[in-house]
Chains A and B, each alone.
Chain A
């Protein structure tokens, strides 16, 4: 019989649970209760990589729900991926606590706005935020864009607004960000590789 790693895991989980209960003398009498199923056995398993350092350890994320439209997929457990050639299932003290990053109470949940001179955040909708940011960028770009330098050379740069990109973001985000930044003529542009 071919047994995949996942199946093997499930068999072991169930097997160890029931046999060790028996060994400890807790053999059921008349009232037979079901052994509590291994909690990951019915969870959705997703392959991912650790977002912290650059070792790029493989992780397995377990979440509730079956990815159907109305099932809210909540992450409940994260562990090292034993198939990964670099970390081979291990994680460091940061990777081992990834669940608490995903579920940190300090995760941002809604767009917020702080007005000039204000002491507090106020809510703003995504649409309002995007429109207001685009408006501010356009005003600044239209006013300060440098098409030609003092020598009359074509330079097409915009240096009065800048951007720091995220070196924990994906290549796909990075590539899109690079495309957009340069199309605007942006040069004051860096990422964490600088520091």
Chain B
């Protein structure tokens, strides 16, 4: 979330799209109710299903799963063509006036630089025109046809209400009603918040859906304001934290990235990431990349990391490509992997195309499970009848199942969606011989280290020299680890403007990332979390819930990254002169008397930069402004374009009926063997979408008695018309099948789903909740991901769980 849960109460309009907060995040959704009750805010829900969020909305519009870019592109077209945008904001705080290279082009649904064999773009034409001064050339009059504004306007002019109806099936009047409601928040003192979740991410073009939503918010001036923002409602309690800490194939802590093979030169690696400003007077905060990187390497490798060896740069693994979960299961299937460790992750149930996951695991030499609960993955080799019909004798994988603690049995911090690091305390001992995750990781690592020390082996240096300053080496404590990622000074850290002034003494915890240095004098395991544990103590454990400004900021509750800031980009809540657009919801303002920005939040800005200096609010971007034109950051192109889901009821993309290459995402990676696993609408005529229920959490709560009682048995939802056609009554068992497998479940016949007219034909949607499996207290059921396709988003590789094709029959 750019904002946070309580801040939702400050909004005038809520758009829930690609999520169902009332069902999946009920206690956060309460802040929507608060905004409705106390600010007379309105709630719009756009969803393929009439969800629990829709049930309490002011307006609901249906949409076909996987067509959100078409809908939101239509909103952009409406706002631009009706001139319902926040002019001062877009002119000063976005790339509206930036000129784009002449070579950049878009034809027949494909951007310049496409290589169809590789399914990849050469992105060299996706950039700005750079002037002789080294800065981007702009046209403040916005008349140049190569400026971002003009290019964007032309791009989305094709997204007419009729086109939206053709692709999305959303009736024209419903679409226009939503546009009109959204447009009201272009007023400088009105804001809309966007709340989305996996309904936007789990598509082959999910990242671009989210970008399109962010573009709508930028046009309206809703980013950076109280009650505004782009608010990702994350799925797990610490999915935010693990992302922040970089536990993904290509990441280092704090969104730093691992080098690629070609990046052999340390200095070039840093320079490429330490962006220089692209416009005069901009901060470009990533220019500090070297400080973040060196401090992390000092935290990991201590005295071994020095300027002489480039802070152990060569010790980091380099990427020849991304090894995301889909790539890894592909490699397993090809026999390229021997071992796998699942720490609190149940891929047999959570990853797409169960048969492929199961086949992959069967080819491993060893599998290690670390979990508080008996997961399906841990018993992938066991025959569980129709739900997991395998022959254990044929599976040669050695499996270890190690019991770990749950939340109630450990100390530590989690990052919620609002970026708050909240500390929790241990209440009891774990059952039996279960151990904490840190002890388990230490148990394996210390034995490996001892073996390398004794016997040598492949490249032992990073293993032997990894810092391990724990009072109990086999049980590193959460406090020690939190202090390490927050950071401390190894030598006195002085003020760059006055070297006689010591900011932090040697050995003390840092106050924040501004004190990081690239000379090896500071350690910090995750720059983004710096300041979470200072000399004042554990800032994540703070529990003062006072809200002095009355807009829900609670700056002394827990610790919010970065720098305890609660609303990102909050400089953009003020006009160029530093005055809040809405004084009643003031986050920060320029205080000329003290020469500082101040207010109810920590300024997301250089605190002493006066408005007349012209620094722009998006300080992480080298442009200083927000981008409508994504330059080379996205796989599919600088402006989001609608492509069909890989499995769709339409044979062509209605925007590009003559170009087969532009039907589905041209830059999505598809493994060779998987093309044949995609189904066609002649055999699989219905759109299927998967989702959660409020009574369950993934595949955990089927082990929890109360939840197993309130929602005991697997079901699927079908609309009344389809049920009638197929002779299905509520309570009948139905078989839902895709080209990859089938599930059998009880039919719930409901008005909450309705057929939509798509490109002249009637399309039904089948809804499948995800929560059942072959272990647990609830009745056994089929794993929903038996059905789903093995293809992911072109940027993130997040699987396309939200729109694929199935057929349906009564059993």
Contact = CB atoms under 8 A, between A and B. Distances in A.
B585 to A, nearest CB: 17
A174 B429 contact: no
Contacts of A102: 406, 408-409, 428
Given A54-B233, A165-B242, A165-B247, A172 B413 contact: yes
Contact of A46 (B318, B393, B425): B425
B798 A94 contact: no
B317 A92 contact: no
B55 interface: no
A51 to B, nearest CB: 4
Interface residues on B, range: 35 or more
Nearest to B452: A138
Contacts of B593: none
Interface in A36-66: 44, 46-58, 61, 63
Interface in A70-94: 72-75, 78, 80, 83-88, 90-94
A108 interface: yes
Contact of A115 (B398, B408, B428): B398
A53 B236 contact: yes
A46 to B, nearest CB: 4
B526 interface: yes
B710 interface: yes
Interface in A115-146: 115-119, 121, 124, 126, 129-138, 140-142, 144-145
A68 to B, nearest CB: 13
A50 to B, nearest CB: 7
Contact of B318 (A153, A168, A169, A191): A153
B189 interface: no
Contacts of B400: 111-114, 124, 129, 132-133
Contact of B238 (A145, A147, A164, A168): A168
Contacts of A140: 338-339, 365
B392 A118 contact: yes
Interface residues on A, range: 35 or more
Contacts of A86: 5-6, 27-28, 31, 416, 418
B9 to A, nearest CB: 11
A142 B775 CA distance: 36
A164 B245 contact: no
Say what secondary structure dominates the interface of chain A: mixed
B99 interface: no
Contact of A192 (B24, B236, B252, B314): B236
Contacts of B31: 86
Contacts of A179: 300, 466, 525
Interface stretch (A7-15, A17-25, A181-189): A181-189
B234 A75 contact: no
Contacts of A27: none
Contact of B433 (A63, A109, A184): A109
Interface of A: 44, 46-58, 61, 63, 72-75, 78, 80, 83-88, 90-98, 100-102, 104-119, 121, 124, 126, 129-138, 140-142, 144-145, 147, 149, 151, 153-195
Given A53-B24, A117-B393, A167-B241, 19 more contacts: A56-B414, A56-B415, A83-B543, A108-B432, A117-B396, A133-B366, A162-B339, A163-B342, A166-B343, A167-B237, A170-B412, A170-B413, A170-B478, A171-B238, A171-B244, A171-B412, A171-B529, A184-B463, A188-B249
